[in-house]
Amino acid sequence: MRIDKYLKVSRLIKRRTVAKEVADHDRIYVNNVLAKPSKEVKVGDLVTLHLGLKIITIKITSTTLSKDSEMYELISEEKRSF
């Protein structure tokens, strides 16, 4: 699944176009490598998002949407200060 679609489906980002813009601004890393919106992700990948003053790191646990299980595991959430 594409990273922009995954972020939308997993509800980390509300809209796919917003997820695409975040990737275009070099704020998404998959396995510590800068990711484009079309980057394919799979179970076990580590995704780091730089959203505003937050840095969120997750591990993908599922690429299919199911009712009762989450699609990711939160590894860390940091707040940056400027």
| pTM: predicted TM-score of the whole model, two decimal places | 0.89
Domains of the chain (ranges plus CATH)? Answer: 3-79 (3.10.290.10)
Rounded Cα distance between 48 and 55, Å, is 7
Reported as a single tens digit per residue, the pLDDT across 7-40 is 999 999 999 999 999 999 999 999 999 999 999 9
> Three-class SS string for the chain?
CEHHHHHHHCCCCCCHHHHHHHHHCCCEEECCEECCCCCECCCCCEEEEEECCEEEEEEECCCCCCCCCCCEEEEEEEECCC
Q: What is the pLDDT of residue 68?
A: 60
User: What is the token pair recorded at 17?
Assistant: 């176009």
